[in-house]
Amino acid sequence: MSGNRATFQHFHEAINSGDAERIAATIDEVVDPGMIFHAPVPTDLPGPQALKQVWAVLLRGFPDMRVEVEDVIAEGDKVVSRNTVTGTHQGEFRGLPPTGRSVAYNEIFIFRFADGRIAEIWGVVDLLTQLRQLGAVPS
């Protein structure tokens, strides 16, 4: 397993721990402080702090959230991950009070590494499916 792929795996294991403190500590460990986050994140925080905030918000809304990696491709300085995300809406999320509904949606992330750390992230998340399953958008 390449170093970048092993670092990705370490990051992924932390995410699936459901432990916000472990996730934040792992972000500090594997994410470059100058990381650039190319995703529709509603924050002006720098990359690592934005990533921590994203996970805090997700875990508040979906405490049982799981990210199942369907495919991983590691090539050069990039690792690409195609995932299925599942969880139960048990807390406020994007202004929606808890519905108790389950969600299952897809996402694809590209991680660029520099000096063994995540330096840049691009993400495409199927928010429409997620919001439809929560009843926030008509089917």
For 88-117, what is each residue's pLDDT tens digit? 999 999 899 999 999 999 999 999 999 999
Residue with tokens 């048990």: 90
- Structural domain contains residue 40: yes
CA distance 21 to 30: 14
As to burial, measured by CB atoms within 10 angstroms (0-12 exposed, 13-18 middle, 19+ buried), residue 100 is: exposed
Instruction: List the CATH number of the domain containing 116.
Output: 3.10.450.50
pLDDT at residue 63, rounded to an integer: 97
Whether this prediction's pTM lies above 0.85 is answered by yes
CA distance 8 to 18: 17
What is the number of structural domains in the chain?
1
For 46-79, what is each residue's pLDDT tens digit? 889 999 999 999 999 999 999 999 999 999 999 9
Domain that residue 120 falls in: 3-133
**How far is CA 12 from its chain centroid?**
9
For residue 121, give both structure tokens.
């992230």
- Structural domain contains residue 106: yes
Q: For the chain, give me the number of helices (H) and strands (E)?
A: 4, 5
- Structural domain contains residue 98: yes
